Structure 1
Amino acid sequence: MVTGAAPAALPASLRFAVAVLTLLLPSGFRVRQRDEWTADLLALPSGRRRYVLGAARTLPALHAAARRAGLASAPVTVQGVLAAPARVLTAGLGWPVLSWLLVVPLPYFLFDIPGRIAATGGGLVDPKSLWPSGVLFWVLLPLILSLTLGAYVALAGGWLLAASIGLAGTVVGLRLRHLRLAVAGLVLAAVSLLAVTAAGQPVFNADPGYGAALLGTVAVGLGLWGRSLTPWQRARLIVIGFTAAAVLAAHHTTLGAAMHAWYLD
């Protein structure tokens, strides 16, 4: 193999072909292979185009050789591509919709809220009256606040849900050291919260579950067809997606309207 061959000695079309082929190789393997191709082409009196086509066919074998020699990093896998959006949806959508499930439908049926309301002649049953009391209340206060805020985000949807996704993107981006994702998430969260502030109208009438259902559909899709994700990741996404669909259904049914009216009033 001849190294250090001058690419400028080749015709422009062949130099372009060699440059394209070189870019398709791992970075640690490019200079070596470019010099080899250039030297071979300079030594050929004819048949240079056939040589270039043959070189293109050897690209998979060259990638394998580069990996064996430790000159190439592992290729980007689908797992790497899907890991970030799966984590963002798990956190940004999972927190509000699962909070909604735990503090709205679950206590509504568990504590027979319709029966209590009927027993008081239509009087209100304060959701806060269902919280534990005494020392246990203070111990569980961080969890109670988190679930309450998450439920409000699920009920409001719209910009608040977008802010949740943005904050999740920021956290995931920082954990994965993915600066672009972290910055994009922070910008989305900031813009969403500014939009809520500037709207000047009740946020609970803006998005009756459609945003959650749309993101839930994406979550279910990743759970069903994201074969490279772990079984637990896929299971979580499917559960979150169907819970998001339940949020949409609750917004458009009589029973759901009664639950939401009880919780928000």
Structure 2
Amino acid sequence: MKNQPALDTHSIQSTMLLPLWGRAAASEKNPDILYDRQAIEIIKNCDYDFDSIAKVFGEFSGICYVVRARQIDDAIRAYMQTHPRAVIVNIGAGLDTTFSRVDNGLIRWYNLDLPDAIAYRQSFIPDSERSQSIAKSFFDTTWFEDVHFTPEEGIMFVAGGVFYYFREEELREVVAAMARRFPGGELYFDAESKQAVDKSNRMVQKTGNQRAPMYFYVNDAAALNRWAPEISVVSCLDYFAGIPRSRQWSWRSRLMARASAWMGLMKFIHLRFSHGR
């Protein structure tokens, strides 16, 4: 393992430690949802005190992180059923470990993130022949040229816990450009309502990180159809759809999972890029 480069703990990049903690902590208690062996190993070797994260976020947040990983895994596996040689682009990859769980031996994978985040990632998860890093901002669309794909093989973009940190107008511009550049592609990401984003902001600030505010929220997924003529909403599902509820969860966690569906607090959105209308 390489020496770990410094990571600014008051930055958007540092938020990669939150889902890492969540997947490691919650997957050990909820292996029927997902077991993230690689995240558990990284936690053991990471020079960071995760106690403050655990105290602020608690059980339900950990469950949310492991559920997010499971839903993204399932979406990718479903796509691979018809596109076994697909290209997968993991936007804002951070310390994500999805490739280790879904790799079918044929897909090609790209991890896109800022240069310091990629450097930190590679100290734990080095690139391999079919899993490559792109050290660029999502908004620096020269990364389009680094992604090699054919429409026949297919391409899917995933973004777990990423889009919250950007403004809608910024996202709309880049996603519309993606739709034009990667016709036939698909995008799968999680989003929260305005109410949930406000609460998430308060929780992140409690960890001492004051420089990673969240902006983007989705109250009505149908509005995303207006981002560009080439973009259409395939589905918008409740965050916990299809996820087994454990009796070991506290009553508070079970109640909050139900509230997500009742109030539309958290969801997964699936977009498809057409060949034009």
Structure whose CA Rg is larger:
1
User: Normalized against structure 2, the TM-score is what?
Assistant: 0.23
What TM-score, normalized to structure 1? 0.24
More helix, by proportion: 1
